[in-house]
Amino acid sequence: MLIPEILVNERALTGEGPSWDMENHLLYWVDIPNAKIFVYNPYTNHNRVINLSNHFSTISAVAPRKSGGLIFTPDRKIAALDLRTEQVTILAEVEHDLPGNRFNDGKCDPAGRFLAGTMKNNPDGDPAGSLYIMEPDFTVRKLLDGLHISNGLGWSPDYRQFYLADSASKSVWAFDYDLEKGEISNQRSAFTLPPGMGVADGLTVDTQGMIWLAMWDGAQITRWNPNTGQYLDIYRFPAKRTSCCVFGGADLDELYVTSAAIGLEEKDHQVYPYNGALMRFRTMYKGMPSFAFAG
């Protein structure tokens, strides 16, 4: 049995959005309701905290930017962050007519576009979320609507398939992906979760094309074959609300896992002592890289 390494016992309310910077060998992640961005250096074990709560109420996703710094999603905005000065530049804002919404998970595609989905800040069953894509010239298009909690983005190794988890659904969706145009089509179920496993949250993909899915309230990461729907493996964690995962390290064989402490009771903390921690374990697999925003 693989024992996860506890890297940062942050006790994040909702740790999320891990993104590995291959060029600088850093891991970026966030605490959504505390509006914090973290920069974790695995060589020094230092976790830099960039607190933007004076400016925003939430930050849900982060990714490296080819021109330097980061792209991230505060509230209903897409913004850039200068890591040296911590200066923020707003690039776009969506859903002006839905002030109760916020962005949730987001990632860059291999062509350097940024995709991110929205949700209600207080989900009530209304499918008010949508999936958006930002081109390197900062123009934004809507790709999909009717989502409850847009989550878990990823691509197949040939980039022809795109994966999306809506946490209100028991299915993880697959789409055909047009990398040249940045468009999705042919929505279908990649696999369906059995009862009692948890809620589908963030995901990543390995070089064999298998999906690694974080299970909110499941204390685990699960591995699936999206081509057959087959459930392959389970990796348990000492955090009840595992929220997202990404491959990192020099060989992309280390799985970094975020988790959340929000909404848990004392008994949950007794059973799962590292709710809200950043964790890691070395795998037998190599993962797909995190891509950078080209704009």
C-alpha distances in Å from residue 287, one per residue of 176, 193, 207, 211, 212 = 21, 22, 5, 10, 10
Does the active-site annotation cover 201?
yes
Q: In what order do the strands lie in the sheet with 199-205?
A: 199-205, 211-216, 220-225, 230-236
- With contact defined as beta carbons under 8 Å apart, do 210 and 225 qualify? yes
Q: 45-55 burial, b if ≥16 CB within 10 A, otherwise e?
A: eebeebebeee
Q: Which helix (H) or strand (E) holds 72?
A: strand 70-74
Instruction: Report d(CA 189, CA 196) in Å as an integer.
Output: 19
Instruction: Report d(CA 132, CA 247) in Å as an integer.
Output: 24
- With contact defined as beta carbons under 8 Å apart, do 200 and 212 qualify? no
Instruction: Report d(CA 213, CA 231) in Å as an integer.
Output: 11
- With contact defined as beta carbons under 8 Å apart, do 151 and 166 qualify? yes
Q: In angstroms, how far is the first alpha carbon of the chain from the final one?
A: 42
The CA-based angle 53-131-134, given to 5 degrees, is 75
Candidates 205, 238, 241, 237; CA nearest to 224 is 205
Spot the catalytic one: 201, 217, 251, 253.
201
Catalytic residues: 201
